[in-house]
Amino acid sequence: MAIPLLNYAPKTQNARVEGYVVPGDDQPIIFSTENVLSPGDMDVLIEAAYRQIFFHAFKQDRERFLESQLRDGQITVRDFIRGLLLSNTFVTSFYEKNSNYRYVEQCVQRVLGRDVYSEDEKIAWSIVVATKGYGGFIDDLLDSDEYLDNFGYDTVPYQRRRNLPGRDQGELPFNIKSPRYDSYYRGILGFPQIIWQNEIRRFTPQEEKAKAGDPSNYLGMVRGLTSRGNPAPRIGTGNLDYLALVPRR
């Protein structure tokens, strides 16, 4: 018998306020199949879904079969998101490399588009992961009223941001606040890596670059040449014959 989801409450009253959109750089871009007019628009929507769930999808991480089904209208965007969350890439990168609490935090951020309210919400969803598995947890997230009210079946989830009084900018992106791997696995995998660069590369605009025949192109060659003049003779004072130097009269 599955344990029902425990009750949890937001830790602030701000979470109960309906979100409002403030024009600016923090305004999210909404991708929905209702606005798809061409195959190129569908490509942009699919890339947005990968970016929301994986942040970056390499060639081997892409789910070609799910993409084909979405393009043909056989599945909805919500089904496509479910497929990405249950894919081998997401399971090995997020579920197996993190604790249940951190896995819950990652999924809530990417699926519901917000941070977890409190530790109570982490505990409540972690119990669902432990009893139903990660598949049942993903289904409960996608079937929740919060997901359906905000994204429905045709909209790619996005980070819901709000500019609160006293803050000029919205929340940081989830991939910056919550990296894919936990600190334990980041240490095993060698992240972050510091690469020291001996050569300092500078960007030179095209109009400032020297053209063929410019004397500045030969400046390095000229500096490499060593000038060899006639060395001054070194004569010691003990070897001078003063009598021979006196002219005869």
pLDDT in tens, 191-249: 666 555 555 567 777 778 888 878 878 887 877 777 666 666 666 666 667 677 777 65
131 falls within a domain: yes
Q: What total number of domains does the chain contain?
A: 1
Say if 141 falls within a structural domain: yes
For residue 114, name the pLDDT band (cuts at 50, 70, 90): confident
Asked whether residue 75 is assigned to any structural domain, the reply reads yes
Q: What is the pLDDT of residue 189?
A: 63
In a domain, 151, yes or no: yes
Domain, as residue range, for 39: 29-163+170-189
Question: Do residues 15 and 117 lie in contact, with contact meaning Cβ atoms separated by under 8 Å?
Answer: yes
Position 226 in a domain = no
Q: Is residue 143 part of a domain?
A: yes
C-alpha 115: how far from chain center: 18
Express the helix, strand and coil content of the chain in percent, nearest 5 each: 50, 0, 50
Predicted local confidence at residue 117, as pLDDT: 87
Residue 237 lies in a domain: no
How far is Cα 177 from Cα 162, in angstroms, rounded to an integer? 17
How confident is the model over 134-177, as pLDDT tens digits?
A: 999 999 999 999 999 999 999 999 988 655 555 666 667 776 67
Nearest to 31 by CA among 143, 162, 147, 154: 154
Q: Is residue 2 part of a domain?
A: no
What CATH number did the domain enclosing 185 receive? 1.10.3130.20
